[in-house]
Structure 1
Amino acid sequence: MISITNLSYFLGSRALYDNASLHIKPGQKIGLIGLNGTGKSTLLRIIDGEYQPDGGTISKAGDVTIGFLNQDLLSYQTHDSILSVAMQAFERQNALQAQIDAILHQMETDYTDDLVDKLGKAQEEFEALDGYSVQSKAEEIMEGLGFSTEDLQKPLQTFSGGWRMRVMLAKLLLQKPSLLMLDEPTNHLDLPSIQWVEKYIQNYEGAVIVVSHDREFLDNVIDTTVEVSQGKLNYYPGNYSFYLEEKAQRNEIQKGTYENQQAKIRQTERFIERFKATASKAKQAQSRVKQLARMDVVDAVIDESARVNFKFQFTTQPGRHILHLDDVTKAYGPKRILTKADIRLERGDKVALIGANGKGKSTLLRIISGSEPLNEGKRQLGHNVSFSFYAQHQLESLNIEDNMLEELKSANTTKSEGELRGVLGCFLFSGDEVFKKIKVLSGGEKSRVALAKVLLSQANFLLLDEPTNHLDMQSVNILIQALDQYEGTYVVVSHDRFFVSQIANKIWYIEDEQIKEYPGTYDEYELWMSERAESGETGTQSKTAPAPKPAAVAPSVNSVPKNSSDAQRKEWQQALKKATQQATEAEAQIGTLEVKKRKLETELADPATYGTNGALQTRQTDYQKLTKDLESLQQQWENAMLEAEELEARLK
């Protein structure tokens, strides 16, 4: 469909692409990945024809149509309704509709056979193009992207940038180009809309190229990964998870080949140096020189992963209770966000606040920070709680005349310059980059500086609103590591499911004007939500979602009357004793297996194991079995403990 051969493209003297090649097939779903600045968006613009390559060829089939979602579309403004803008996708149908309307108007005063014939032909083509259903298709896609029915008639210019971008996405989807190119589409979508777009792309008949930092989105929609690295386009026939595994294997092979070649080069150079002046060996030495010149040099493996090796600390330990919102009500005119809502936050809670846009997530963060006034209720911070708030508008609070090092010094004066450089290094700024002024940084670079500043603030409570926006995957991974090392409490708003699954031990969501809590990880929450949807539950009966329970656990405490009989209580006491015994036995077995596991790990680390015939394979098999047994026992222990907790609650 599209063939890119030996592409070269230069930014000044720097080669962004150097003899890069890629073939895009009909129906292929490609994820274009790479570090910021490697040229992903540039490649899309080259394919679209906006930029001209400095070398190579781009061949396109004659019937190829391209739809390109990019940040430039945010500048489009009009008084037309968003439904009208989306329906601009149907150019021919719109033209035919205007023609039919004009003919019908003309026929009111001039009814002729010629007009009847024209009307018939126009209506026939309009029907063949499915013109009578184009509006319903547009409405379906717009509502799938999060617009309400009432929104569809509102002018485009009344919407924020993110919502305008959704309108442009809807228009592109309705055009159904043979190649759909999406540059960071999830930056402007909430979770329900992301999931809707995933399903749409999965069933999309044309080819798709997506640039995204959302790992789960890529895993769910692409079948091919193309990595931009060192001026080349590296092809991986699978989704992002496949790419990570395959990339690790390729790097291992390349590393071995590189080391072997370097050893051979050193050996050859020593031979040349030793014998170039010896008459009897001069010819051989010259032959080795030519051999080196002809050699296809294998590149060294560049480690593009980054590790956080700085410990983020705070000096003041808070009390057990971090925050309590008591009977909180918040409304904007007739629109209610919260009504008599109540939530508590304890020390060490790692909370992800998720849900659709417009539900009040950012409002809730501002309420927690104290910057948003309440209509009713109380906000109470705990003892010694100090917080730091990161939001997109926080980028504007950076001093644009400061360089990065000065900006971090303003957040934490106790750190030395070396330590602050180390922090900036964790966030991918190295060398003289730390002296760049804030005013010359890109949006993504400013986000990284602002995040580093928040983490250096010595606050024991963090509020982070969409911290992964404008970050590439490497930067997201750095933030995950930083939050994993952070010993305080935080509430994070994010639509990035992989990020949330890595950093949260509790999930908050706003439903029925209440703050609901799920006491578990995001993966557990998703499973619980799918089971809830299948059972038709509405979730209106309690403010806190139940933790997942094993199948053997008796009915919920809430379903048992308080005046339970003595016989019932005796039954619960016996069940509690049994569950406690099961937990104790499982814990003892876990201890025994962990000792065996450590012993096996020691043996596997011993080089002598690798020299004994069959010993390595035997120990690896034992290790794998032991790991599975441990996982099973740990699950048994968790189930028994959950059951014991439930029964203890009933007996109180």
Structure 2
Amino acid sequence: MSLINVSNLTFAYEGTYDNIFEHVNFQLDTDWKLGFTGRNGRGKTTFLNLLLGKYEYSGTISAQVSFEYFPFSVADPTSQTLDVISEIDPEYIHWKLIRELNLLKVAEDVLYRPFNSLSNGEQTKVLLAALFIKENSFLLIDEPTNHLDMKARKLVSDYLSTKSGYILVSHDRAFLDNCVDHILSINKTNIEIQKGNFSSWWENKTRQDNFELAEDEKLRRDIKRLSASSKRTGGWAHEVEKSKNGTRNSGSKLDKGYVGHKAAKMMKRSKSIQQRQESAITEKSKLLRNIESSDSLEISQLPYHKQQLAELDEVSVFYGDKSVCSEVSFTIEQGDRIALTGSNGSGKSSILKLICGEEIHHTGVIRKDSQLAISYVSQDTSHLQGSLSEYAREHGIDESLFKSILRKLDFSRIQFEKELSTYSGGQKKKVLIARSLSEKVHLHIWDEPLNFIDVISRMQIEELLMEHTPTILFVEHDREFCANIATKIEAMD
């Protein structure tokens, strides 16, 4: 066991005015299995890069271990997989590599195939195996679940649960719960560490948030009451003080000493009330600093004149002579929230694109009305460029609604001024989802919409879909999301 000490860490990117980290202090044990969570753009990947020594910062980070980052960059994806591993670790021991591949259920023959011929899941598992054959290193694992299907996520999560000594960035709740024993969270105003998995951390956070909200409401009432009381008492003291030079109604002269004493007593009481009010305001300022925005989102789906929106009847998809899926049949009716499930490469994305009207070689029948309006969210975000305002105009959506949704998904106003191409992966996915929610359509089709999106935003999107019950067909490998949202599951395995 050794420690990683972070002391007085302050960092901002060159050319920006806002610090991502400011006077941060904490300590990590290198034997822990740390889940790393926080809203998109809070600095999770930045912190990993600081550990790797990629940026200059003020403060200190001290550790007696080296750091290794996943995913590794692969210089030549066309080279043999074994050569890729040799570049990552020239001194690797072959039997250890085979042991890790076996644990990850990867056949040894993948080592003798070009790396780019492997599926996304196979590539992830091979690189994880290469990561865990490195010794005496603390591992920084950045979002390994993207593009992994549910079965592969469970396998990788089980694999990581047998290991230790890592920080894992993931937004998949079930994945984190299975394989971490501590949570490192970047909050609005601080970084904190708690023992336990994501669910226990979230339960504690919810309990703390509810306590602070109740305290905040109590202090609001106290401040309002004390403010009114202070004004009344101060007014009375002022009137009594003025009466020192006056006379009683009976015409007899006032006892100025008595009146002065009474006025001083009232002023003292007024100051006491003001002090209590200021104390309450100070206490209130300590609350709600880390409560995340959980405002409900908005959606307005068009009604459709038929109960059934679309039907697939024994649809098979082909690329060249190869069939990627065969005889897929299901219907989409108003109010359905259909999860399309299956392993990577089973043709799920192809089916979504076919329903959207893309020309793909297939057999079978797709029945849908030519007037059916569909909003499609693709996996790919590389096309995003320009400003948010330009993007809203290009897609003919209400810009104020579009930006309001993004605000509720934790976009700061400064993000509105930035170029879309500079956004993080999670922020780009939020742009696609906000655009889809702003479009007036009959059917939403989302292809892996949650890749890179933080956990709190995922839960907000869940709440939205549960509240407004839009008709949606989606592919998503987040087990919790599917369990909470889907009214139907169409399996393609």
Question: Normalising by structure 1, what TM-score?
Answer: 0.61
What is the Cα deviation at residue 257 of structure 1? 6.5
Matched, 1:195 2:154: yes
Is the alpha carbon distance of 1:377 and 1:313 closer, same or farther for their aligned partners in structure 2, counting shifts above 3 Å? closer
- Could you tell which deviates more after superposition, 148-157 or 232-241? 148-157
What is the Cα deviation at residue 182 of structure 1? 0.9
Distance 1:356 1:326 in 2: 21
* Paired letter, 1:422: S
Unmatched tracts of structure 1, length 5 or more: 95-130, 512-652
Matched, 1:507 2:469: no
Task: Name 1:331's counterpart in structure 2.
Answer: 318
What is the Cα deviation at residue 264 of structure 1? 8.8
Matched, 1:137 2:99: yes
Task: Name 2:177's counterpart in structure 1.
Answer: 219
Where relative contact order (Cα < 8 A, 6+ residues apart) is larger, the structure is 2
* Paired letter, 1:203: T
Task: Name 2:293's counterpart in structure 1.
Answer: 305
Q: Is the 8 A contact 2:10 2:22 kept in 1?
A: yes
- Could you tell which deviates more after superposition, 4-13 or 232-241? 4-13
Q: State percent identity of aligned pairs.
A: 26
Q: Secondary structure at the match of 1:371?
A: coil
Task: Name 2:304's counterpart in structure 1.
Answer: 317
Is the alpha carbon distance of 1:379 and 1:320 closer, same or farther for their aligned partners in structure 2, counting shifts above 3 Å? same
Matched, 1:470 2:452: yes
Q: Secondary structure at the match of 1:317?
A: coil
What is the Cα deviation at residue 392 of structure 1? 2.3
* Paired letter, 1:355: G
Q: Is the 8 A contact 1:16 1:231 kept in 2?
A: no
Distance 2:287 2:99 in 1: 52
Task: Name 2:252's counterpart in structure 1.
Answer: none
Is the alpha carbon distance of 1:457 and 1:92 closer, same or farther for their aligned partners in structure 2, counting shifts above 3 Å? closer
Distance 1:449 1:93 in 2: 42
* Paired letter, 1:478: Q
Task: Name 2:127's counterpart in structure 1.
Answer: 168
Task: Name 2:430's counterpart in structure 1.
Answer: 448
Q: Secondary structure at the match of 2:168?
A: strand
Return the match for 2:61 from 54, 58, 69: 58
Q: Secondary structure at the match of 1:4?
A: strand
Task: Name 1:10's counterpart in structure 2.
Answer: 11
Task: Name 2:43's counterpart in structure 1.
Answer: 39
Q: Is the 8 A contact 2:36 2:185 kept in 1?
A: yes
* Residues 5-404 of structure 1: pairs in structure 2 closer than 5 A: 5-11=6-12, 12-55=16-59, 57-61=60-64, 64-70=65-71, 73-74=72-73, 76-77=75-76, 79-86=78-85, 91-92=90-91, 133-134=95-96, 136-141=98-103, 144=105, 150-158=109-117, 164-204=123-163, 206-254=164-212, 299-302=286-289, 303-314=291-302, 316-382=303-369, 384-393=371-380, 395-398=381-384, 400-401=385-386, 403-404=387-388
Q: Deviations over 1:440-492 (max 9, x none)?
A: 43332222222122222222112110100121123222322332344442211
Distance 2:87 2:413 in 1: 49
* Paired letter, 2:37: I
- Could you tell which deviates more after superposition, 361-370 or 259-268? 259-268
Is the alpha carbon distance of 1:339 and 1:422 closer, same or farther for their aligned partners in structure 2, counting shifts above 3 Å? closer
Is the alpha carbon distance of 1:428 and 1:350 closer, same or farther for their aligned partners in structure 2, counting shifts above 3 Å? same
Structure with greater proportional helix content: 1
Question: Normalising by structure 2, what TM-score?
Answer: 0.78
* Residues 470-549 of structure 1: pairs in structure 2 closer than 5 A: 470-511=452-493
What is the Cα deviation at residue 2 of structure 1? 2.0
Distance 1:237 1:265 in 2: 39
Q: Is the 8 A contact 1:89 1:175 kept in 2?
A: no
Q: Secondary structure at the match of 2:207?
A: helix
Distance 2:454 2:484 in 1: 16
Q: Is the 8 A contact 2:33 2:166 kept in 1?
A: yes
* Paired letter, 2:444: L
* Paired letter, 1:136: I
RMSD, matched Cα: 3.8
Unmatched tracts of structure 2, length 5 or more: 238-262
Is the alpha carbon distance of 1:338 and 1:248 closer, same or farther for their aligned partners in structure 2, counting shifts above 3 Å? closer
Q: Is the 8 A contact 2:186 2:192 kept in 1?
A: yes
Task: Name 1:106's counterpart in structure 2.
Answer: none
Q: Deviations over 1:88-118 (max 9, x none)?
A: 6664465xxxxxxxxxxxxxxxxxxxxxxxx
What is the Cα deviation at residue 171 of structure 1? 0.8
